[in-house]
Amino acid sequence: MKVTIINYEKVLYQDSAIISMTVPGINGSFQILENHDSMISLLGVGFLKLSHNNHKNFLIKKINGGLLQVKKNIVIVIL
C-alpha cells in the first residue's frame, strides 16, 4: 500500500511498502491491510502504527485526530 501522511503545511511521511496499518478511530482502533475496501474515517487520539513489508520495520506516531481515506491501495491521512 502507498501511505501518505500530511498536515496543513507539508507531507510528514510517505512510503509505498506498507503492508498494514493500525489507526485510532473515534470509536476504537482498526486495522487496514492491502486491498482494503474504499472508506473514509475520522481519527481520534492515539497511536498510528505502520508495518513495512519486511515485518521488522515499523513507525509509530502519536496523533490527536484527523481524517483517513483508503482507495485502491492508497491511504491518505490528514492530521
**How far, CA to CA in Å, does 6 sit from each of 1, 14, 56, 76, 79?**
16, 9, 24, 8, 6
Do 67 and 6 form a contact (C-beta atoms < 8 A)?
no
- Predicted confidence at residue 52, as pLDDT, reads 87
Q: Which domain holds residue 62?
A: 2-78
Total domains in the fold of the chain: 1
Nearest CA among 71, 28, 73, 70 for reference residue 47: 28
Residue 59 in grid coordinates: 513507525
- Predicted confidence at residue 42, as pLDDT, reads 97
- Predicted confidence at residue 5, as pLDDT, reads 95
- Predicted confidence at residue 23, as pLDDT, reads 96
Going residue by residue through the chain, which has 79 residues, state the pLDDT in tens, using 9 for 90 and above: 999 999 999 999 999 999 999 999 999 999 999 999 999 999 999 999 999 887 777 888 999 999 999 999 999 999 9
Burial class (CB in 10 A: 0-12, 13-18, 19+), 64: exposed
Whichever domain contains 72, its CATH number is: 2.60.15.10
